[in-house]
Structure 1
C-alpha cells in the first residue's frame, strides 16, 4: 500500500488493484478512512473532525493527481508522491 503523501500527520495511501469507485485511504493513528476521489465523500471509516477538514482541504485541489495515482495503482504500479 504505497503512501503518496503525508498531510498534517495523515498518511494518504492507495492499495494496488483496488475496487471502484476511485478512492484513497487516509490513516491517522488508529483512525482509518476511505474517501471517494470524485466527490470527496467518506466511503468507510471515521476521522476526527479537525483532521477530516485538513484532509479534504488538501485533497480538493489535487483530485486530478489523486485520480492519476489511483489508475496507476490499478496497473500494479506504485504511484508517485503527491505534493
Structure 2
C-alpha cells in the first residue's frame, strides 16, 4: 500500500485498485482508521481526536488530488484486469452477484478477485 503522505507520525496510504467508496487508510501509532475522503469522515477504526482533526484538515486541503489519484488507480486497475481477460469476472464481482452467491463479503478487493478467480 503506497504511502501518499506522512506528518506528525501519521501515515496516509491508498490501496491500488481498492474498493469503493473512495477512501484512505491512516495509521498513527497503534491506531488505524479508514477515512472516506468525499464525506470527510472516519468509516472504520479510530484515531485520537487530535490526529483525526489533523487528517480531516489534510483531506480537506487535498481532496481534489485524492480523487484524481483514486480515479487514476481505478483506471489502471481496470486496464490490468482487461488485459488479463478478467473483466467479465470483475464486472460480476462489482455488481455483487458473485459475492452474494459464492463468496463471503471481503474488504480487500484484490483478494476477492483472486479468490473468486480460483473458485471459478
TM-score by length of 2: 0.59
In the alignment, structure 1 residue 66 sits paired with structure 2 residue 49: no
| Greater relative contact order structure (CA < 8 Å, 6+ sep) | 1
Return the offset for 1:53: 0.7
Deviations 1:23-66 (A, max 9, x none): 00111111111000111111100000011111111110210011
Higher helix proportion, which one?
2
Greater radius of gyration (CA): 2
RMSD, aligned α-carbons? 1.1
Instruction: Give the TM-score taking structure 1 as reference length.
Output: 0.84
Give structure 1 stretches of 5+ with no counterpart.
77-83
The 2-side partners of 1:59 and 1:36 are apart by 9
Residue 47 of structure 1: aligned partner = 47
Q: Which runs of 5+ in 2 are unaligned?
A: 78-120
Question: Which is richer in strand?
Answer: 1
8 Å contact kept, 1:14–1:73: no
Between the two proteins, the alignment pairs up a number of residues equal to 76
